[in-house]
Structure 1
Amino acid sequence: MQYTKHALALLGAISAIHTAAAQETVKIGHTGPLSGAQAFSGKDNENGARLAIEELNAKPITVGGKKIKFELVSEDDQGDPKAGVQVAQKFIDGGVRYVVGPYNSGVAIPASRAYNDAGALIATVATNPKVTQQGYKGVFRVNASDTQLGSKMALYAAKELKFKTVAVIDDRTAFGQGLAEEFKKQAKIAGLTLAGHEYTTDKAVDFTAILTKLKAKNVEAIFFGGYAPQAAPMARQMKQLGINAKLLGGDTICTAEMGKLGGDAVGENVLCSQGGALLDKAAAGPQFKASFKKRYNRDPDVYAATYYDAAMMYANAMQKVNSTDPAKVGPAISTGAYKGVMGTYAFDAKGDMKESLVTIFNFKGGTPSPITSY
Structure 2
Amino acid sequence: MSKETVTILHPFSAEAIGLSFSDVLTSHSKPHKSALKSLQSAGYTVKVMYLYYGLFPKSRFVNGIIHKFWPVISLNFKKKNKWRKESSWLHYYSNFFNPNDLTIINMSGRLSPYTIKIARLLTLKNKPYIAMIGGLSIATGPKALDYYKGAKHIIVHTKKQKESLLQLDGFKTLDVRVIPLGIDTSTFKPKKKDRSSKSLLYVGRISRLKQIELAIDALHYCKNRGVDCKLKIIGPFSDKHYFDELREKIRVLKLQHNTEFIGPVPYSQLVEHYQNASLLLLPSQHESFGMVAVEAMACGTPVAAITGSGGPDEIITHNVDGFLTTKQNYASLVYEVINNLSNYSEVSSNCRATVLKKYSEEVTSQLIYKSVKHALSNG
TM range (shorter): 0.3 to 0.5
Given the two structures, how large is their TM-score scaled by the length of structure 2?
0.38
- Greater share of helix: 1
| Structure with larger Rg | 1
